[in-house]
Chain A
Amino acid sequence: GIQVEQSPPDLILQEGANSTLRCNFSDSVNNLQWFHQNPWGQLINLFYIPSGTKQNGRLSATTVATERYSLLYISSSQTTDSGVYFCAADRAGGTSYGKLTFGQGTILTVHP
C-alpha cells in the first residue's frame, strides 16, 4: 500500500511564529487530506487537497502531486493551534474506495 511520511515529528513554537509541516507519499494519490487532532482528541478537517493550493485564514496547504509531497503552512501561530497534525492519502488507480493511509503525525506545541 501507499506509504505516508510526515516531518518533523515534533515542533515547538512561540506564539506568533510561522511553521511548515511536510508530508511525503510514495504513490500517486486520489485523495490527500490534512487533519488537526486537538487536545481533546477530535479530528478536524483542515484541507482536502489532492493537488494545488488552498488557503483558510492563517492556514494554507499545497500539494505537488507530481513530486509526491504536500506542505501545510501555519502563520502567526496561536496556542489553540497546538495538537497533532495528520496527513492522510489514498492511492490512485484501481478501486481504493477512499481508504486513507495516515502518517504518524506532527506534534505541535505553541507556547504563549
Chain B
Amino acid sequence: NAGVTQTPKFRVLKTGQSMTLLCAQDMNHEYMYWYRQDPGMGLRLIHYSVGEGTTAKGEVPDGYNVSRLKKQNFLLGLESAAPSQTSVYFCASRKSGTSYISNTGELFFGEGSRLTVL
C-alpha cells in the first residue's frame, strides 16, 4: 500500500518555465489537497478537490492550476514559474466525512516535492 505518492521529488526550473507535479493516492480517498511549505512557516493550502472533476482555490492559489481527471490523481501545474514559487510542495488526501471513532477525516501526506525556481 503506497499511500500518497508525489513525483518528482526534486526539480529545478528557470523563471518562466512550466511544470506539473503529480500526486497519486491508492486509498480511494475523495478529498485531495496541495499545500506549500516555506521556511519558518506552516503549511498553506494552494488548491483542493472534493471529487473527480472538481477543484477549488485555497489560501494561496495565484500562479497555480490544478486538475483532477481521475479520482486517484491530483495534478498541480505552474504555467510560468517565478522565484517566489520556490518551496516544498505537499500533496494530501483523506476520506470525506468525519468520525472520531473510525478516524475518518484523518489527513495523509505524501513525502513532498522540493522545487527551486532560479
Contacts and interface: CB of A to CB of B under 8 A. Distances in A.
Indicate whether A and B interact.
Answer: yes
Interface of A: 1, 4, 30-31, 33, 35, 41-43, 45, 48, 50-52, 86, 88, 97-105
A51 B99 CA distance: 11
B42 A45 contact: no
B50 interface: yes
Contacts of A50: 98, 100, 105
Contacts of B40: 104
27 contacts: A1-B59, A31-B98, A31-B107, A33-B106, A41-B88, A41-B111, A42-B109, A43-B109, A45-B109, A48-B100, A48-B103, A48-B106, A50-B98, A50-B105, A51-B100, A88-B107, A97-B50, A98-B33, A98-B94, A98-B96, A98-B98, A99-B48, A99-B58, A100-B43, A100-B45, A102-B42, A102-B43
Contacts of A86: 42-43
A103 B109 CA distance: 16
B90 interface: yes
Which of A48, A86, A98, A101 has the most chain B CB atoms inside 10 A of its CB? A98
A98 B107 contact: yes
